[in-house]
Each structure stands twice: as structure tokens, then as C-alpha cells.
Homo-oligomer: A and B are copies of this chain.
């Protein structure tokens, strides 16, 4: 037994795949689709909801339903040796970075693994492909670790530039822990990524420590679920190479 809204969703998928509905174009109105399929408004909306969740359709209240551009997924990786190459080569992204000094509040304290009140520098990255937001990243470095000179507009996504500069100034990252959660975005993340609050978010909290266990860098990474994936290699290739060399 197949639900009517699933049938309609499949039919619309077909039309997108076949090019009947072209990328970026507006679909017929929900009322028209309801007439076409001999279904009610609500059933058509259920079908469109499926396509929206799949990332194929973007709904614009008061305007219409549009075929989304099919982006490749942006890959976040724990493979520090090749992250730069990956991101720079595979996907061309534009960035904006804003930095400021903060004292971590209690809610951030737990996520960054530092005591509340610790003075840190926050680097806030917004990454775009064209005009479409692809990543919202906040990178934190304790003020007593080192001073960095992060350019306003960066080549590297996801705050990798911070780690690179840390390495250049002699700070060694001995261990990183990535905590990955799938959830809905909060208001700030939804606004920054221009997705609605019912969308899916890939949230990665990364904490990096030196040999003594001191936190030298932490990052809160928010990626739209349908545009991102995270890849973790165990053991990481760079360490395999160090062991071999």
C-alpha cells in the first residue's frame, strides 16, 4: 500500500530528474498540482514536504516552490594532513571572518572544555557557495595561547586557517576530539545558514589539546544536513605516516 503523497512525491521527483522542471525554476502552484494529480491541497503539500526534506525543493512563502540546485556535499574531515587540499580543491567557497574577544559563558564552557570566564578569541566564519550559505563556524583560541593574524576573507573553509597558524607559531595539537550530533538548528544557526528551524543540522564540536592536555583550540561547526558530511579516518593517515617515517 503506497500513500498518495508518496506517489505524488515520486512523480515530482521524476519531473525534476527528467528536466521537465529545471533547476532554479518555479513549480506549478500547489493548487494547480492538486488539480493535476486529482488530490487535495494538503496531500500535495505532504508530497512537497518530502522533496523539501530531501533538499530538492525550496519553499518560499508567498512566492512559490522552486527546484533547488543539486550541490555536492561539503566534506568535513579529521584528516588534518589533507583537509586543506580537499576543501580548496573540491569546492570553491567564499568566506567572511569576524574576530572578537570574549569571556566564555557557562553554556559554551561545557562545549569548549574550558572553565567559564576564560578569555578567548572568537573567529566567526560564514562560508558561501555563490550566495548560498554552506557553513557557520565559530573557532575559539584561548588568549594566553598565542596571537593570530586571521585575514578577513579566507581561502580555507571551516576555520582550518586558525589551526594552520597555530601550527606555524609552534603550538602542537596532540589530540582532537570531535563530537558529532544531528539536530535542528537554533535561531542563530538557522539565520546564518538561511535554513528553516525544521531543517537538519550536522553539528560538530571539536576540541584540540596539546601534549599536556591543555585546550589550545576549539570549534563549533554548524553545517546544513543536506549539504554536508563528515569523514573520520581511524587512525588518521598523517599519524600512520609519522609512525612509518
Any chain B CB within 8 A of the CB of A92? no
User: How many copies of this chain?
Assistant: 2
List residues of chain B with CB within 8 A of the CB of A42: 42
Any chain B CB within 8 A of the CB of A145? no
Interface mask (A216-245 → B, CB under 8 Å = 1, otherwise 0):
000000010110111111111001100100
List residues of chain B with CB within 8 A of the CB of A239: 234-235, 239, 243
Contact of A182 among B54, B175, B202 (CB under 8 A): B202
List residues of chain B with CB within 8 A of the CB of A231: 177-180
Give the size range of A's interface with the partner.
Answer: 35 or more
Interface mask (A82-126 → B, CB under 8 Å = 1, otherwise 0):
000000000000000000000000000000000000000000000
List residues of chain B with CB within 8 A of the CB of A50: 197
List residues of chain B with CB within 8 A of the CB of A23: none
List residues of chain B with CB within 8 A of the CB of A228: 181-182
Any chain B CB within 8 A of the CB of A183? yes
List residues of chain B with CB within 8 A of the CB of A223: 182
CB-based contact B53/A225 at 8 Å: no
List residues of chain B with CB within 8 A of the CB of A203: 182
Any chain B CB within 8 A of the CB of A165? no
Any chain B CB within 8 A of the CB of A32? no
Q: State A42–B43 Cα separation when bound (angstroms).
A: 12
Q: Which residue of B lies closest to A225 (CB)?
A: B182
CB-based contact A78/B180 at 8 Å: no
CB-based contact A175/B232 at 8 Å: no
List residues of chain B with CB within 8 A of the CB of A232: 78, 177-178, 180, 232, 234
Any chain B CB within 8 A of the CB of A68? no
CB-based contact B234/A183 at 8 Å: no
Any chain B CB within 8 A of the CB of A176? yes
30 A-B residue pairs with CB within 8 Å: A42-B42, A50-B197, A53-B184, A54-B184, A78-B232, A80-B234, A175-B233, A176-B234, A177-B231, A177-B232, A177-B233, A179-B229, A180-B180, A180-B230, A180-B231, A181-B202, A181-B225, A181-B229, A181-B230, A182-B182, A182-B183, A182-B223, A182-B225, A183-B200, A184-B200, A200-B200, A232-B232, A235-B236, A235-B239, A239-B243
